[in-house]
Amino acid sequence: MNIMLPFINQKIGRIRWRISKLDSMLALLTMLCILALLGNPLFAQERPNFLVIVADDMGYSDMGMFGGEISTPNLDALAQQGVRYTNYYVAPTCSPTRAMLMSGMDNHLAGMGNMYERIAPNQEGQPGYEGVLNHQIAPLPAILKANGYHTYMAGKWHLGKSPEHIPAARGFERDFTLLDAAGAHFSRKPYDDANDETQFTADGKYIDKLPKGYYSSKTFTDKMIEFIESNRGDGKPFFAYMAHQAPHDPLQVPDDWLRKYKGRYDAGWDKIREQRLARMKEMNLIPEIAENAHRIWYVPDWDELTGMAQVTLARKMEIYAAMVEYLDMEIGKLVDYLRDTDQLDNTYIIFFSDNGPESNDKVSNVKGKKASAFANWLAKTYDTDFASWGRKGSFVAYGPPWAQVSATPFWMFKGTMNEGGIRSPLVIVDPKHTNAGSINHHALLHVKDLAPTLLDLANIEPPRQFNGHDVLPMQGASWADMIGGKTPSPRTEDDWLAFEFWHCMTVRKGDWKLTWMPKPVGKDDWRLVNLARDPGERHDLSAENPGKVKELLAHWESYVAENNVILPNRTQYDGLEEKLPPRPPVDGSWPPGPELNYGGEESEDD
């Protein structure tokens, strides 16, 4: 027996070694499986959700936490839980902004070098000017979907109507979508005479009937909640694109909201703008030395209007404010749903407006001008009677005077490269509530940054090939480190941004901004301002700073070359100088002439 012991011990040792080796191999295989699952897009319980909420034509200072008097408790709560960013830029109109959001690219490369409704003759057929979200880019929802995300959209698309360009074809798993630029909020009445009805899709199919009780802000929110709820608990994260139509005109609200702001705007646009400016200073949103932009030259002093004119014009802003508050309520409903279902703590929320406030009130502002064909169509299609304003089937817009209030303290509004047209309020809430309640003045941000930011936060590399063909590399800068509190900005002081639309051009670098605006809004020449001291763009400093002008012009030339910018040979500004009242004399006297009419005294010529 003793002779056999060494042999037996050796056998036992080998068995133990084999068992130990087997255990090690099993442990290694287990670890590899875990790592594989963690790297698999389908294993996504800890990957974040994304909720991107876009308002349509909402002004910079409309919400309470950006200085507005409109009640927006839900947006204000998001601002308190997250961070407000004061230097965030979008395009001056809707579809270019949306193209950049979906692509991470400049609009001239993504297919929206111009809106499809406004393509100039020399831009027709050129790459980047297709008027739809083109195939040079990889759409954000498609990338996320390919990497294990649910992708949902409810709201306005405006990036193409044909089957190959609707949301379902560009990566959205579920959708309920208005394909057009705008339309009625209670029905399929169109926004202009180019269409008989607005077009909608639902889950990739064109529909000709809207849900019962349809109202844009409510129905879009209900649909988004339905989409998220349908897959809740399956372990996959979601990207939810909540693209609201409000507060784009026509201004319409449910009947019980019509009088919510009765009398609130009787003080007039000048006083309301002053009050907003004061609140913005109290909130540290703008510097103490900031002044409001000059009042637009064709907008009269409120006190010069008749009492009836004041009542009529104040009513427009009352309806607009009610529409914004209703939108806020629906945003709150969606956030409450996420909180009640324990999804909020893993969700990034991003809110902004697609461009500045809409100034077009769809009627002639000048006495003696004949009604346009569009105005005649409008009168036949919608109820434009004062008593009906805001109701289902009516059409009213608030026009340039109130648009400039919404843009406080900035100059101009939608459709321009002035700050009122392209600077948007931005609120970001991250799951960790990093720097909650703070204001970031340092970061220079752009809407094309959003796609690379979300991919970075989801740990997804932007592709260079998609659907079997090469795509352009994303141009935007990721905000992931900024949102996480690691850096105040994704850009340095040497970085710059440039934009072009309708022959309106601008470059911003640091506090300096160089802008070209066609007449009559601009002077058909470059104009230099320092936004830190002059956010209202009141003072042209180009003559005193020729070196800075030269520096920014060099950046402009680089932008044109890199982004295939084709300046249009026809724009919305052509002939506008003849339609608007003349600018006031250089001595600043007012009014420019009796022909101006916003409901005041009749012109002597009538």
The residues annotated as belonging to the active site are 94, 158
User: How distant is the alpha carbon of residue 104 from its chain centre?
Assistant: 14
- Other Cβ atoms within 10 Å of 480 Cβ, number: 19
Q: Sort strands 465-466 and 469-470 into parallel, antiparallel or unpaired.
A: antiparallel
CA atoms of 84 and 82, how far apart (whole Å)? 7
Task: Report residue 64 as tokens.
Answer: 């309470």
CA atoms of 426 and 439, how far apart (whole Å)? 10
Which parts of 128-261 are beta strand (E)? Answer: 150-156, 174-178, 200-202, 205-207, 238-243
Q: At what angle do helices 399-406 and 269-282 cross, to 10 degrees?
A: 10
Task: Report residue 392 as tokens.
Answer: 């289902």
- Of 41, 59, 145, give the one whose Cα is nearest residue 356: 59
From residue 485, alpha-carbon distances to 86, 432, 437, 453, 479 in Å are 16, 10, 13, 14, 10
Q: Sort strands 423-429 and 347-353 into parallel, antiparallel or unpaired.
A: antiparallel
From residue 160, alpha-carbon distances to 95, 239, 346 in Å are 10, 21, 32
DSSP 290: -
Q: H/E/C letters for each residue in 38-88? A: HHCCCCCCCCCEEEEEEECCCCCCCCHHHCCCCCCHHHHHHHHHCEEEEEE
Cβ contact 352:55 at 8 Å? yes
Task: Report residue 505 as tokens.
Answer: 């051009």
- Other Cβ atoms within 10 Å of 409 Cβ, number: 26
CA atoms of 411 and 394, how far apart (whole Å)? 30
Cis ω for the linkage preceding 409 (within 30 of 0): yes
User: How distant is the alpha carbon of residue 156 from its chain centre?
Assistant: 11
